[in-house]
Amino acid sequence: MLHFYYNAAPNPMKIALLLEELGLPYEAHPVDTRKGEQFAPDYLRINPNGKVPALVDGDTVVFDSNAILLYLADKTQKFVPAISDSAQRGPMLSWLMFIASGIGPYSGQAVHFRNMAPEPKEYALNRYDFEAHRHWQIIEDRLAQHTYMLGETYSIVDMAFWGWARLLPIVTGMKDETWTRYPHTKRLIDAINLRPAAARAENIKTRHAFKTELDDEARKFMFPQNERLKKA
């Protein structure tokens, strides 16, 4: 039995989608980051980085969402090119890591500085908003030429994309105008959302009542770096 540690954020949702696509039996363990459960000693033994998601497969522990995607896909030999297929494997790794190192971090920081950071924040928001749009435009240009991120084949790269793309209006702060700017991105989101596995993945959020209040306790756990400012 696989053990999946999650909350409803974009990175865990990628894994929920793949687990449902694969039809693998798994037990979902909620980790409420606004309550600080990611810093509990038992969880830090699973993921010393104190983040979600994480996966325990027998004696094997995997953390970081894109590492988990690759691990499960390689293990089942589904939704990923074979290791021996270097012609297809190279682009898969490139786009998967592009999402890991670019889409996720810049999108997350754009949301943070737009909605969470105290003033003054003009410089930081400008930087991360610019980079988020730059990265998403690369995705948009790719999808203007291909049905899926790897061409005509649905893969874990599309699942990694889906985790973040669902929240693109929040990332950009543009609401419905987002989809006018990124129509091919919207096309792929809609296509993935029609898959039964996507509905089942979204449903995982209803299994646990995660804390929604961003009170002082939650801010302490979500933004521990701010504690240094209090001591300055």
How is residue 93 written in tokens? 């790794």
- Same domain for 190 and 90: yes
- Same domain for 185 and 100: yes
- Same domain for 131 and 98: yes
Domain count, the chain: 2
- Residue 206 · residue 16 · CB < 8 Å: no
Domain with 36, as residue range(s), is: 2-78+200-226
Per-residue pLDDT of the chain (232 residues; tens, 9 = 90+): 999 999 999 999 999 999 999 999 999 999 999 999 999 999 999 999 999 999 999 999 999 999 999 999 999 999 999 999 999 999 999 999 999 999 999 999 999 999 999 899 999 999 999 999 999 999 999 999 999 999 999 999 999 999 999 999 999 999 889 999 999 999 999 999 999 999 999 999 899 999 999 999 999 999 999 888 776 5
Q: Is the peptide bond before 53 cis (omega within 30 degrees of 0)?
A: yes
- Same domain for 184 and 115: yes
d(CA 50, CA 41): 10
Asked, for residue 232, whether it belongs to a domain, the answer is no
Contacts of 57 (CB under 8 A, 6+ apart): 2, 3, 71, 75
- Residue 38 · residue 51 · CB < 8 Å: yes
Q: Where are the alpha helices (DSSP H) in 120-182?
A: 122-143, 156-165, 168-172, 177-181
